[in-house]
Every structure is written in structure tokens, then in C-alpha cells.
Amino acid sequence: MVDSNNEWNLLAPIIPFVLVAPILYMQGWESVEAAFLIVVVPLLTFPIILVVGQVYNGNETWKNRYKEGGIFGLGSLALSLSIALWIAYDYIAGSAHFEMNSVVEPFSWLTFDVLHHDGSQWDISSGFADIGVGVWIDPVSLMLLFVATFLCFLICWFSLGYMNTDPINEDSNHRFYGVFVLFAIGMFGMVLADNFLWLFIFWEIMGLCSYLLIGFYYWKDSAAAAAKKAFLTTRVGDVFLMIGLLMLYNIYGSLEFSIIFDDPSTGVGGALVESADLNWALLMLFIGAVGKSAQFPLHVWLPDAMEGPTPVSALIHAATMVNAGLYLVFRMVPFVDVHVSGVAGLEDFALIVAWIGGITAFMAAAIAFVQNDIKKVLAYSTMSQLAYIFTGLGAGLLFLNIGEYHAGYFVIGASMFHLFNHAMAKGMLFMASGSVIHEIHHAHHHLHHDDHDFDPQDMRNMGGLASKMPVTSTAMMFGSMSIIGIPLIGGFWSKEGIIAETWLACLHEEPLMLGPAILVLATAGMTGFYMTRMWLMTFAGSPKTDVAEHVHEGTPWIKEPLIILTLITAIGGFLLALLGVVDYLGGEKDHLAMHGLLDTLKHAFLPDDNELRIVGWTTILLAAILGPIIASRVHGGRLAEGAEANPLVGWLVNLSSRFGSQDVSELADSQLAEALQRRLYFDDLYEWIVANTAIPFASFSAWFDKNIIDGFIKQIESNSTSGSVTVRSITTGSTRDYILMAAVGMLSIFALIWGVSA
Amino acid sequence: MIETSWIVGLGVILFFIGLLGAFTRKNAIVVLMCIEVMLNAANLNFVAGATHYSDVDGWVFTAIAIAIAAAEVAIGLAILLSLYSTQETISLDEANILRN
């Protein structure tokens, strides 16, 4: 194993990439003008990685020096990150050139003539639909851009350690890095897109990359099946998304953000937009978002997507791609914001969003209780946390649609803040789980060379790793705390806001919000249980197998991203709350500094509303105390004799053993546990539905094609064959017959002419 | 002066003699000769017509038709030569590979 310090000189090729942003700055460029490079540079890099990787596959320099293309991928992502940071700096510093919605549109891409009906007749208006190539930057796209570029960079870094040291990936890593960079293009492009068509195109690029990367180990049947499942399930959502875009186009006559958001209440030709029309269009878009963000009922693909390599799970299925759906829902804010120029009467849509979120949050958390695969727990946790954000967005859309301007933007801000916290924490948790899996796999490889049944992802094979993997255990501890919402850490700041505002919406505005409100509150406690359970099963107690005893952290490139993200998770939420990030969407910049922090703290601990105070403290009690204690009773335990962990982790592990222990084997054998193990039978249900609808229909279609359509064609063919056989018998080949025929024919013509003229 | 209708009648008789010969005889050369007979029957009609109407056109057509017939005979004989060199026969009954 090469020492990690000796490998840092491999980073030399990324220096020119990093220098691009400073050079452009010195040349007098505006940050927003350079934004297109965020997409264009990776777009130029990914084919190079794939082609060069194919040509030099197996070459020693390519493998050791350039990490099979990983260094180039890292370079282009570093460039994207540096430009994103530049834009973010301009925004935070309030640069004079930075507008709230910065649009740069260098050229038109497509201009098409459109057939439209002007009451009495159909008419063609030329140049009506104009699809430009442009960049749209506002606070949310900026936030998501930062999350995406930052995590793409860190996870690419992590992959250099995780992918390149695993012999199973040898000589196919260029495929990984190529598609990885292509995925980054999709994500950056979707965030920067300035119209819904481009958003959709990049959305599909991400779907493709998700498919390719889940199926990275395509020779494994389970991976190939999981890739297909993910692709087809998200396709269901994407079809609806496309229908929704067509409906939007029908209403507004354009898909440009600048045109639609300029005044969402007037449609094409100045007509007032009917809330019923818009309701359906938004609902279709939302189904697309549900598919992409793995929400009920299109959630079934996400747990299976864990078949992909762990960096892929970290990036695509936890930190970035699944946020695309949330981003799309966030884009709907101008449609419902009656305070500006939204369309009133969309409360039903907002309720649907909140209910879908509530149901998914609860269901995923329940299923996560019984998962033993460390990545599956995280996958269900991702679903559950994304559902929180959907619930928050639903509540926010509801508030905005009934004119509660401040509460609406507060909860939408909190949702976007939760997106940030969740992406950082979950990206890190997946990388940490990758680190655990990698080292377990490594240790197992040393100990039992021939045993192939061992599952390195099964938490029942771990235990006691806190002393063996100090960095990973600390990282995972902070990540779990952020997801649980332990006060003052990461996700606490945002989750509190979502739960509180959902209850506020329920108590003061709309009784039907009670369902999502109760579900998210219950889920807070369940999150406390399953995240603690995962952490304790992995790191606490004594090692459950001899493999776990021989684990040690040693792979280069893996620790740095974990340390960076641990810091961000631990204090990032605090810092952003300090900046008043929850309020930033309302554009009230006076919330900067201490005032914002106090405001957020007050909102979390001592809200003015009495009911909210009860809700807030119940959340803290459930999530931070009750859930973890129950998990400790079941799975807690001291480290083995003589094992040392770092003080905080060691203290937590030993604390977990003090709550006594509880035997849950009876519960674990119950029908409920069985149902949760089977993922509440959703897979079976969908399989049954497909087996009873799609497959009979497909067989009927096949029969119809084979017998009716093909039969018709074949009948024509056989008739003309037999006809020509009959006809050709008169070609005798004898010259005299031909002469006779010619003479008879000639005489008949003469006879005809004679007869006609006579 | 012989009646024009007699000359035309002779042409018709000659034409049918040629036609009958063309599809009853096996020998390709005889068939070719029969075709010449039919051509000359047509020429006879032209000449008769020209004399009847005192019009020079018929004679001109006859001269052209004789020239074309000469060319046609040359081509016909060439075809027969090549038929003989490939099939070693000029019997039309045996030269029937285009059948069906």
C-alpha cells in the first residue's frame, strides 16, 4: 500500500484546471459569464477519459500516474468547483453585477414555427418558440450548484482511493470516471438550465448515467437487474414530466424560465391562467420529481441502486441526482406564490406534495429498521430525508398559495437548507460506509482467500470498528447526528424548521396537513433509532467476526473527503444559520450575522407559538433522546477489552452500553418485521401488476404482430408468388411462340383500330 | 396498267406467306428469310400506293425500308452466328433456355 502522502504529487495535472478561474478573473470576466465553463469543460473531458482509457487500457503510467482517468476527471470537476465558488462569492459579497436572477443567454439554439389556433382558424406564427442556450442563476440554483460541484469533486477524490485500489475494478475505471464526469455534466447543466427543455435534457443525461453506473458491475445479474429497474422506474416519472412540460408549453407558449416566471398568471396571448390547468401541469411535473427523488410510490428503485459502486451511491443516489426532483418542485414556487403573480387555488397540489412526502418519510424510516446491509439503511434514510424536504416544500407551497408570504418562504428556505445539510451528511455517510466496506473487504481478502459468501456490507459482520477506524467512525457519527437532528448539528437547523412549519400549516391553515405533520414528527424519532442502530451495529461492541478484528484504515485518498465533510456537517449548519440562510429566499438581508442565528435558535427552542413549542421539544425528545436510547438498549455495547477509540467516539460507545439491554428477537420474528423485510411488499405488488397487465398486453401485441400484421404481409407475398408461377408458364422460350404472340397482338390492335374507326 | 388493288392483294398474300413461315419453320435462317418476305410485302404496298397517288413519299419510304432491312439482316445473321457458336445449333426448338 502506497502512503497517501506520496500520492499527492499525482495531483499536478489538475493545477492548470484550478488556475482557469483566477486567470479569467484577472482578465476581467464576470463570474456569471464564466458559468458555462462549469458544463463545457467536463463535456470536453469525459470523451477524452473514455477514449484514452480505451486506447491505453492496462498501460502502467495511465494506471498509476493518471489513475485510469480519475485525475483528469478530478481536474475538470475542480474547475467547475472553482467557478461555482467564484459565483457564490460574488453572490454573498453582493457584487454590483449580480442580479437576483442572473441570466446569460449567448445565443439561440432552436427557433421553431408554431401552429396555433386564434379562435377562428389555425395559423402559423414564425419564430414563436425560441429555445435559447443560457445560464440561469438564482439563490437556489447557486446552492444546488455548490452542493453538486463540491460533492462531485470530493467523491471523485474519494474514488481515487476506493475504486483504484480494488482489483475487481482494474482496467475498467476509465469507464467509471468517464460516466462519472458525464453525470456531473448532467447535474451541473440541470441546475444551470434556463428553460424547462434543457432541464429535461440534462435530467435524462443523469438518468442515463445512473443506469450506467448502477450497472457498473454488469456481469452480476443483480446489478444488471437493478440498473434496469432504476431506469424503467424513473422512466415512468419522466414520461409524466414530459407530459407536464407539454402542458406548461400549452399554457405559456414557452418553456423559458424568464418568460414563464415573469408572470405565471398570464398565459400565451395574455390569457389568464386557469388554476385547474396549471394544477394538472404541476402534478405531472411532480410525478417526474417523485420518480427521480425515489418517493412513494416510485421509490422501489433506490434501495436496489445500491448495487453500484459506493462512490456512485454517495454521489448519485444520495447527494445530487435525487435532489433533482426537489429542485424541480422548488422551481414551482413562482407558480403558486400569490404574493407576486402566482395562480391562486393550487392548495390541493401543495397538499399532495406534502402527503407524498409524509408517507414516504414514515414508510422508508420503518423499512430502515430491519435492514442489515449498511448501504440499504442509508438508502432508506435518503428516501426518508428527501421526503422531509418534499413535506416542507408542500407546506411552503400551501402557505404561499394562501398568501402567507413569510411562513411560506421560511419553510421553503428550511427545506432547501435541509437539502444542503442532507446532501453533505449523506454524501459523507456513504463515503464512510464505503470506507468500512472497503476495509472489511480488504481484511477479508487477507484472511479468507477462498470464501466468497462473505458479505462485506452486512452490519452483522462488523461491530467494534470504532477503535479500528477512528476517522471513519467520527465522520459517521457526525453524519448520523446531522441526519437524526441532534441539536446544534447540521440537519437539526433545517429539520426543526420543516416539522414546526408543517404543524403550523396544520394547526392554523389546513386541517388536512395533520397527516404529513404527524408522519414527519414520528419519523424524527424513527430516524433517531435507525441511524443510531446503524452506527452502533457498525462501530460499537466487540467485533462480531474475525474479519472485523483485522480491519484498519489505510487506503489513501479516502480520509480527506471524510474530514472535510465532517467539519462541514458539524459546523456548516451553524454557520449557515448564522448567515440567516433560512430567510435568504425572502431577500431580507438584514438577517445576516447574529440576528439570524438567534432567530433560528429561537425558532427551534422557544417559538412564540405555544403549540410550536410543544412540537419543537417533542421532536428533540423523540429524535435526539428516545430513538437513540432505544437503539442503544438493543444494539449498544462496550468496546472490546483494550480497544481504544478517540475520546468522543469512545464516550458515546460506552454510553450506549449504560441503558441496559433489551431482547427484541420476538419482535424481529413478528409479521411486521417480515413485512418490513420484504419492503412492505411493494416490489411484489409491482411485479404482480406488471405480470397481470403489461406482460399479457405484451404477449397479445406479439401475437397480433406475428399473426395479424405479419400474416397480412405474408399473405400478399405468397399470393404474388403463386400468381407469378402461374403467369410465367406462358413464357415457353420458343421463338416461334413469341412471333405468334406478337403477330396475334398486332392483328388484334389492327382489328381494334378498325372496329373503332368503322 | 395493273389495278392497284391487285398489287395490294399480292402484298397481303406475300405477308401471310412470310408470317406463316416465320412461326412454322425450325431453321432460324429460314425464319429470317420469312421476315424479309414480310418486309418486302410492306414495301410492295408502299410502291403501289405511291404509284396510285403519284406521290414520291412511298418510294422514299421503300428505299429507307430496304436499307433498314439490310442492316437488320446483318444483325440477325450476327445473332445467329453467336447462337451457333454458343449453342452449336440454329434450330429454334432447341434454343429455348429462356423458358419459364
pTM over 0.90: no
| DSSP collapsed to 3 states, A586-612 | HCCHHHCCHHHHHHHHHHHHCCCCHHH
Break chain B down into helix, strand, coil percent, rounded to 5: 80, 0, 20
Query: What is the pLDDT at residue A691?
Result: 86
Provide, as residue numbers in chain B, all residues whose Cβ is less than 8 Å from the Cβ of A740: 23
Provide, as residue numbers in chain B, all residues whose Cβ is less than 8 Å from the Cβ of A735: 28, 31, 92, 95-96
Query: What is the pLDDT at residue B61?
Result: 92
The structural domains of chain B, with segments of one domain joined by +, span 4-99
Cα dist from A150 to A70, A156, A210, A319, whole Å: 16, 10, 19, 10
Provide, as residue numbers in chain B, all residues whose Cβ is less than 8 Å from the Cβ of A734: 92-93, 96, 99
Indicate the DSSP class of residue A14. Answer: G
Residue A612 CB contacts under 8 Å (≥ 6 apart), including other chains: A500, A503, A504
For testing contact with chain A, the best of B19, B23, B90 (most A CBs within 10 A): B23
The amino acid that residue A613 corresponds to is R
The rounded percent of chain A whose pLDDT value lies above 90 is: 18
- Dihedral pair phi/psi, residue A124, rounded to 5°: -105, 120
Helix (H, G, I), strand (E, B), or coil: what is residue A256?
strand
Closest CA to A190 of A180, A199, A201: A199
CA angle A477–A482–A486, rounded 5-degree value:
90
Query: What confidence tens digit (pLDDT) does each residue in A266-278 have?
Result: 877 777 888 888 8
CATH classification number, B4-99, choose in 1.20.1600.10, 1.10.287.3510, 1.10.10.10, 3.40.50.300: 1.10.287.3510
Closest CA to A335 of A323, A322, A344, A325: A344
Please state, in angstroms and rounded to a whole number, the distance separating the CA atoms of residues A192 and A35.
8
Query: What confidence tens digit (pLDDT) does each residue in A207-261 have?
Result: 999 999 998 988 888 889 999 989 988 998 999 999 999 888 888 877 888 788 8
Count of CB contacts below 8 A, A vs B?
Answer: 35
The tens place of each residue's pLDDT in chain B, 100 residues long, gives: 788 899 999 999 999 999 899 888 888 899 899 999 999 999 999 999 999 998 898 899 999 999 999 999 999 999 999 989 988 888 887 877 777 6
Please state, in angstroms and rounded to a whole number, the distance separating the CA atoms of residues A255 and A245.
8
Residue located via cell numbers 410492295: B44
Contact between chains at B99 and A735 (C-beta distance less than 8 A): no
Q: Is the CB of residue A734 less than 8 Å away from at least one CB of chain B?
A: yes
ipTM of the complex model:
0.76
Mind telling me how many Å the CA of A721 is from chain B's nearest CA? 14
Please state, in angstroms and rounded to a whole number, the distance separating the CA atoms of residues A591 and A577.
10
Query: What is the pLDDT at residue A203?
Result: 92
Q: Is the CB of residue A731 less than 8 Å away from at least one CB of chain B?
A: yes
Please state, in angstroms and rounded to a whole number, the distance separating the CA atoms of residues A174 and A164.
10
For testing contact with chain A, the best of B15, B92, B93, B94 (most A CBs within 10 A): B92
For testing contact with chain B, the best of A724, A734, A746, A750 (most B CBs within 10 A): A734
- Dihedral pair phi/psi, residue A87, rounded to 5°: -60, -45
- Is residue A647 within 8 A of residue A655, CB to CB? The reply is no
Please state, in angstroms and rounded to a whole number, the distance separating the CA atoms of residues A441 and A19.
38
Local confidence band at A76 (pLDDT 50, 70, 90 cut-offs): very high
Segment A141-167 shows an average pLDDT of: 87
A507 vs A449: which has the higher pLDDT: A507
Contact between chains at A733 and B99 (C-beta distance less than 8 A): yes
Return the beta strands (E) in B23-71 as ranges. Answer: none
Local confidence band at A412 (pLDDT 50, 70, 90 cut-offs): confident
- Nearest Cβ partner of B95 from A728, A735, A739? A735
- Dihedral pair phi/psi, residue A128, rounded to 5°: -75, -50
Please state, in angstroms and rounded to a whole number, the distance separating the CA atoms of residues B51 and B58.
8
Terminal CA-CA length for chain A:
110
Residue A125 CB contacts under 8 Å (≥ 6 apart), including other chains: A113, A114, A116
Provide, as residue numbers in chain A, all residues whose Cβ is less than 8 Å from the Cβ of B93: 734
Q: Is the CB of residue A694 less than 8 Å away from at least one CB of chain B?
A: no
Q: Is the CB of residue A126 less than 8 Å away from at least one CB of chain B?
A: no
Provide, as residue numbers in chain A, all residues whose Cβ is less than 8 Å from the Cβ of B24: 736
Contact between chains at B24 and A740 (C-beta distance less than 8 A): no
Cα dist from A161 to A312, A758, B99, whole Å: 14, 103, 78
Mind telling me how many Å the CA of A689 is from chain B's nearest CA? 59
Contact between chains at A734 and B93 (C-beta distance less than 8 A): yes
Provide, as residue numbers in chain B, all residues whose Cβ is less than 8 Å from the Cβ of A736: 22-24, 31, 92
Query: What confidence tens digit (pLDDT) does each residue in A15-39 have?
Result: 888 888 888 888 888 777 788 888 8
C-alpha torsion sign, points A51, A53, A58, A62: positive
Please state, in angstroms and rounded to a whole number, the distance separating the CA atoms of residues A37 and A184.
13
**b/e per residue A458-496 (b: at least 16 CB within 10 A):** bbebbbbbbbbbbbbbbbbbbbbbbbbbbeebbbbbbbb
The rounded percent of chain A whose pLDDT value lies above 70 is: 89
- Nearest Cβ partner of B98 from A733, A736, A739? A733
Indicate the DSSP class of residue A108. Answer: E
Residue located via cell numbers 459546523: A571
- The H or E element spanning position A124 is strand A122-137
Mind telling me how many Å the CA of A710 is from chain B's nearest CA? 30
Q: Does A584 score more than 50 pLDDT?
A: no
Query: What confidence tens digit (pLDDT) does each residue in A282-313 have?
Result: 999 999 999 999 898 888 888 888 888 888 88
Provide, as residue numbers in chain B, all residues whose Cβ is less than 8 Å from the Cβ of A728: 100
Residue A670 CB contacts under 8 Å (≥ 6 apart), including other chains: none
CB atoms within 10 A of CB A743: 16
Gyration radius of chain B's alpha carbons: 17
